[in-house]
Amino acid sequence: MSPLDARYLRRKLLEAQHEQTPVALCGGAFVSLSASGYYWWLTGQVFYLYWLLVAAVVMAFRLVLYLRFAAHHRNTLAGKATESVNWQRLQTLGFALAASTWAVIGLYVEFSLPFADAAFVYVCLAVMVAGSVASTASVSPRMFLVFSSITLLPLALVLLVSLVPKKVALGLACIGFFAFSLRATHRIAEIFEGFVTSGLINEQLLRDLRQEQRQVLKLNEQLRHDIEIRTQTEQQLRAQKQRAESLAEKLYELSSIDGLTGIPNRRYFDEHFAEEWSRALRGQTILSLIICDIDYFKDFNDQYGHLMGDDCLKAVASALDLHARRAGDVVTRFGGEEFAIILPSISLQDAMLLANQMREAIKALGISHGGSQVSDLVTISMGVASTVPSRDSEPEALLRQADEALYRAKHRGRDQVVSAEDTDP
């Protein structure tokens, strides 16, 4: 990954973290008020009011970070490579401070109140850790590790060393929940980073991932009722993982599309050509292939520039694709200014007829080409080959025949269609 790509990735991750902050702060404020209010009402101890004040200061610190980020992000983050790193450190500090406040109240309640009265704070801690999965999973597993380890592990250790059966069981449940959530967080973070760096339909995939995060948050809210229902929660999170993997599969499908012309690329051609060859071999049906090349395209680029060259490639690809009407016909960008058309179950004569129609359609586009030696318009040369596959033949042979036919078309003066059976005298 280039330094520019790495900076872009950090910026997008930080933007995602920024967008999650209001929800995280509102949820934290609600749970903080619930916990401190409940225990102050139960015990009357002023400690819980002091604790609520400290928690409010920490949330205010995080709110200030959020507001400053929103105000200065566009002007500073785009121009300084180190700015996102600084913001990330401040965000991590905010998470660590918030986690410390929850660790303090958890330990205080555990040491000062009976197990039955302390149960509510266990639920509050589980809710905060579950909520941090949604607010940090797509951004930084490190933040989740900082928050959850500070929040849960000290209390889990105290519960384990108490040697009281029900406390030991709860401590084990806390550790198991921590480990499972950390694994799920890493998995979601990997998928999200892959979406950002791919550069393909990034915004749509990002919206889908945010929807997944909201669904994970709804599922994790159920942990407030019973943190020991681990089996049900694991099944639900596994379903979310499968849905996220389906998004990754969609991304894989998009990697087979040529980014400039919008038609399938060479990678798709190789896979689809092999499939059509196997299908024709099983059914003993004919398979035709057209290889075509834009005449004097290098001269076109030199004379009109690469932007005009890109527009020319798009127009040619669209015209070729328009003529491949059957369900099995596929037009692909073979490389540079070269295209390949796969035509299952079509004879050589019909393939030649279709190729000539395509050649005329390219001329009819009326794209000027002052650097061409055969016409004042953009033209193409085409090589056509057909075969009925046998077990002794290879798909590369058909590809080679079409390519050789294309070579003869160029040798004979270009702007023409040549069959593989039409050999030079």
Q: Which positions are annotated as active-site residues? A: 337
Burial class (CB in 10 A: 0-12, 13-18, 19+), 211: exposed
Q: How many residues does the chain have?
A: 425
Q: DSSP class of residue 76?
A: I
Torsion angle in degrees (nearest 10) through CA of 45, 50, 55, 61: 170
93: left (phi over 0), alpha (psi -120 to 50) or beta: alpha
Torsion of CA 109, 112, 114, 116, to 10 degrees: -10
Spacing of C-alpha 395 from chain mean position? 34
Label residues 374-386 b or e (16+ Cβ within 10 Å = b): eeebbbbbbbbbb
Q: Residue 263's closest CA among 219, 316, 184? A: 316
Sign (positive/negative) of CA torsion 121, 122, 123, 124?
Answer: positive
What count of other Cβ atoms lies within 10 Å of the Cβ of residue 15? 16
Paired tokens of 272: 């689809």
What residues does 352 pair with on adjacent strands?
Answer: none
The 8 Å CB, 24+ separation contacts for 81-87 are 81/3, 81/7, 84/7, 84/10, 84/11, 84/14, 85/10, 87/14
Of residues 85, 53, 97, 90, the one with CA closest to residue 68: 90
